[in-house]
Amino acid sequence: MTEPIHQLHPVTMQVHSHRPRQPRATITKTKILEAAARAFADDGYAATSMTDLVAASSSTKGGIYFHFDSKEAIARELVTHWSSALHHAYSATQESPQHSVADIISFFRDLAASVAVSSLARAGLRLAAETGIDGAREAFAYWVDITSLLVAAAIESGELPDNSVTRQLAWNLCAGFFGTVTIIRVVGDPGDFTTRMQNLADVHLSACASAKMS
Amino acid sequence: MTEPIHQLHPVTMQVHSHRPRQPRATITKTKILEAAARAFADDGYAATSMTDLVAASSSTKGGIYFHFDSKEAIARELVTHWSSALHHAYSATQESPQHSVADIISFFRDLAASVAVSSLARAGLRLAAETGIDGAREAFAYWVDITSLLVAAAIESGELPDNSVTRQLAWNLCAGFFGTVTIIRVVGDPGDFTTRMQNLADVHLSACASAKMS
């Protein structure tokens, strides 16, 4: 399957290319998660069995069950990777005392970078929209909620007008991001993902600025 | 699961509320497709078995196999419902000799209406982004392709400038539409879906108009 996102150079790197020495158990766990992320992407979550994951991760059934109770536990851990990306990107915006439109842009730029470099975050984002995984819906809702907080802060600071377009901004940015990642996965994309997300944010932010107050 | 889309009143109706008398076989087939659309939405495609579909459609195994060779054949038929919605919405724009920005708006308004009223089209759209269903990727790519044709015609007519924002317009509209349908499915939405899609189209179209030529 074509998944060109991860071949693109991200704007910021959130994953260390030179990892510190890890204990063997952590290495095994990461190997299992990476194999599961690939298998869920290629065959879909429900079609992938624990037996498939044993084969894909070159692990043993015992090795997998040492780390995870079930296939759903692996999916939950991948969703957690996406939630962590959300949390880190949000925390980074909270470091400065002033909150503004720049925070919204850097938040989505960081998320784009996470999705571009991390197959775990990318799988987690996709699984967050699946049915039947505990915590998935919550992770998706958390994304819309923290984006709404960033938008509210930019309205508060006076940088964004409080109109009907701005009130849909958080939804439209998350929808545009999710939809773009999906189209790239399904039909492939010749373009640069992080630049594309930057342009999408620019389009929506200028629409807020130029919309009538209503 | 919350699926508020189908409760909203669509702008245009593409599905007849007063259907002509159908032969029994067609009624059964539609019942199976509707049950499958619900089951795939609730439990996901891969987690739903033919046995589940027998129970959900109050049909018999023989009744289902009379119409469909396999579960994948049902999924393919649902994808076909989405492709038909695309085809009808595109054909409607081709009836007038002049092609313009209004065609792009009416194309997405018609698609929004289809998704709002038809659980079969809605399931087909979702399945088009699944892996492992023959023709799904093609249906998704067809959508982006015909949207690109509409954009190219609007550029040709002089209504849209040929700049970098316009060149991403087809992608951004399809991504925004798919992402919006996904968020509504996952987290629910208090708003009106067809109005929301209209606003999304307006935002992207004005961004094309105001972008620098490049």
Q: What is the pLDDT of residues B113-165, one digit of tens each?
A: 999 999 999 999 999 998 888 899 999 999 999 999 999 999 999 999 999 88
Which two three-digit tokens encode residue B187?
């987290």
* Smallest Cα distance from A51 to chain B, Å: 16
Measured CA distances, B201 to A211, B49, B125, B180 (Å): 14, 38, 19, 12
Question: Among B3, B111, B131, B193, which would you mutate to test the A interface (most chain A Cβ atoms within 10 Å of its Cβ)?
Answer: B131
Give yes or no: residues A96 and A43 share one domain.
no
Range of the domain at B36: 18-68
CATH code of residue A111: 1.10.357
ipTM of the complex: 0.85
Sign of torsion over alpha carbons A180, A161, A147, A192: positive
Is B173 within 8 Å of B104 (Cβ atoms)?
yes
Percentage of chain A exceeding pLDDT 90: 57
Q: Do A183 and B186 touch (CB under 8 A)?
A: no
Q: Is A135 left (phi over 0), alpha (psi -120 to 50) or beta?
A: left
Q: Which residues of B98-121 are buried (b: 16+ CB within 10 A; e: fewer)?
A: ebbbebbbbbbbbbbbbbbbbbbb
Q: Please list every residue in chain A whose beta carbon sits closer than 8 Å to the beta carbon of residue B207.
A: 202-203, 206-207
Cα–Cα distance between B180 and B203 in angstroms, integer? 14
B89 & B187 share domain: yes
Q: Nearest residue on chain A to B200, judged by CA atoms?
A: A172
Residue B27: give its domain's CATH number.
1.10.10.60
Which chain A residues have a beta carbon less than 8 Å from that of B146?
none
Tally of domains within chain A: 2
Q: Is B131 within a domain?
A: yes
Partners of residue B134 in chain A, C-beta under 8 Å: none
Minimum CA–CA partner of A185 in chain B: B129
What is the widest separation between alpha-carbon atoms in chain A? Answer: 61
**CB-based contact A132 B207, cutoff 8 Å:** no
For B54-78, give one letter per residue: b (16+ CB within 10 A) or e.
bebbebeeebbeebbeebbebbbbb
Residue A201 lies in a domain: yes
What is the per-residue pLDDT across A86-134, written as a single tens digit (0 to 9) for each? Answer: 999 999 999 988 889 999 999 999 999 999 999 999 999 999 998 888 8
Residues A84 and A122 in one domain: yes
